[in-house]
Amino acid sequence: MKQIVVIPARMGSKRLKNKPMINLKGKTMIERTFLQCAKAFDKNFIYVATDSKIILNHCKEKKINCILTSKNCLTGTDRVAEVAKKIKADSYINVQGDEPIFNPADIKKLVKISKKHPNKILNGYCKISNKDLYKSINIPKVVFSKSNNLLYMSRSPIPGNKKSIFKNAYRQVCAYVFPRKKLLAFKNNKKSQFENIEDIEILRFLELDFEVRMVKLSKISKSVDTKNDIKNIQELIN
């Protein structure tokens, strides 16, 4: 079973300018994300996917595999799908480019489960620890069935209750495994209704009637979306 890791990265973030190239204690964010993945996966099969020649040249300098994708990609998953058209594999492990302290053990877990379920789309989740995360629009919350199939994902606080208080909830961890055929089907369809409303791309798979199996991962990984996130990440880097 051939698998590769793809790290989508773009310079056009509206919240943080030139996000992948932000310096975090001497290394760029995209380099740190790559190095975390390389602790769990053969670096020869890890690729950064980008529409930026700045990132492309930076990766060449750091001896990181990099593929230049089009500027027309609607989402990071569309960017991964472009890679799938260029590099054939059975499935594609997607780690977001803004995960500089991503837990390598989570990649190993996703690989292990994907080998047992080669035709399943996998996505990570972990428990939410406080009401601020539960209320945050930057944190996609997940609800899933007894068999761990995703029922819905939202930036709104779900599951909700009549008193609007935080009880028990889970958040998405932005790591995925996409079987090739389902990834290409995703690419061949435009943004779906709820994906567009929530700005959560995994919802396109649900709306195409594909099951998404949720996999419990660690709480260590933290994406970087704000200047405050940068400060917090700097404190966590050894």
Query: Which sequence spans correspond to the domains of the chain?
Result: 3-229
Q: Provide the 3-class DSSP secondary structure of residue 14.
A: coil
Nearest to 5 by CA among 121, 84, 112: 84
Residue-level pLDDT, tens digit, the chain, 238 residues:
899 999 999 987 777 889 999 999 999 999 999 999 999 999 999 999 999 999 999 999 999 999 999 998 999 999 999 999 999 999 999 999 999 999 999 999 999 999 999 999 999 999 998 999 999 998 999 999 999 999 999 999 999 999 889 989 999 999 999 999 999 999 999 999 999 999 999 999 999 999 999 999 999 888 888 888 888 888 888 7
Sequence-distant (6+) residues with CB within 8 A of 220 are 101, 102, 103, 106
The whole-number pLDDT of residue 215 equals 98
The whole-number pLDDT of residue 222 equals 80
The whole-number pLDDT of residue 164 equals 86
Task: Tally helices (H) and strands (E) across the chain.
Answer: 9, 11
- Please say whether the dihedral angle defined by the alpha carbons of residues 221, 14, 141 and 157, taken in this order, is positive or negative: positive
Cβ–Cβ < 8 Å for 224, 29:
yes
Question: Which ranges of 88-225 would DSSP assign to H, the alpha helix?
Answer: 104-116, 131-135, 180-187, 193-198, 203-207
Distances in Å between the Cα of 106 and the Cα atoms of 109, 180, 213, 216 are 5, 21, 15, 9
Radius of gyration of the chain (CA): 17
* Residue in the structure block whose two tokens are 């890890």: 46
Class of domain 3-229: alpha beta
What's the whole-model pTM score?
Answer: 0.94
The whole-number pLDDT of residue 177 equals 98
The whole-number pLDDT of residue 221 equals 82
